[in-house]
Amino acid sequence: MLRCTNGHISHARAVGKVCHQNREFSRKRKRSMNPAYFSSHSRITVKGTRTIAFRDTHGCSMALKSLIAAIHPQQQDIIFALGGYVDRGFDSSGVVEQLIALKSRCNLICVLGNHDQMMRQCKDSKQKFNWWMECGGFACLDSYGDSGRPDLIPKSHFKFLEDCVSFFRDRHSSLCSCELQTRPTIGNNR
């Protein structure tokens, strides 16, 4: 999802969700790509800046590359990446590399998503590693060279995930992604 304060780049919303499968968009998505949708759902935080948010790139580095090219980030822009960086797609490592590089070009605030949290915790225990594998981790590890070997993931990528925030809140908005429960709690046995 991409929401921005500049209607001229509304086509970038579609790029943010397109993955290697080239899925068709629903009527709702086509309606939400209308520039009027952006102006009614956006807020400008500082005069002269754009606020942009996207989510769920899930290993689709080419889609993220197209998105970044379409929005042409400037140093004063505030960009929120709302989780879902890894798993499912075939190039999770490329997505993380692009986000690390994007941090030097603009004000990038990365919120940790549930798949990202599973990747971050995969070294904690065999149980957490296995759980991540069941939820799409194999695709992520394949992008690092060998399925089943988290030691091939660069430390800089784990540092990136450690630096992600659980949520973001300022006077204009509150943004969060799904926080993952790692242990069942009373009343939460699903």
Question: Average pLDDT of the chain?
Answer: 75
Asked if residue 112 belongs to a domain, the reply is yes
Q: How far apart (Å, rounded) are the C-alpha atoms in residues 172 and 153? A: 36
According to DSSP, the residues that pair with 110 across neighbouring strands are 81
Rounded to a whole number of angstroms, the distance between the first and last alpha carbons of the chain is 28
| pTM as predicted | 0.69
Asked if residue 184 belongs to a domain, the reply is no
Asked if residue 183 belongs to a domain, the reply is no
Tokens of 58: 């899930």
Asked if residue 190 belongs to a domain, the reply is no
Asked if residue 157 belongs to a domain, the reply is yes
Instruction: Tell me the pLDDT tens digit for each residue of 88-140.
Output: 999 999 999 999 999 999 999 999 999 999 999 999 999 999 999 999 899 99
- Judge whether 177 and 84 are in contact, CB under 8 Å: yes
pLDDT for residue 99: 98
Asked if residue 181 belongs to a domain, the reply is no
Asked if residue 36 belongs to a domain, the reply is yes
Total domain count, the chain: 1
* Domain range for 114: 7-176
Structure letter (DSSP) for residue 20: T
Asked if residue 1 belongs to a domain, the reply is no
Instruction: Tell me the pLDDT tens digit for each residue of 54-83.
Output: 999 999 999 999 999 999 999 999 999 999
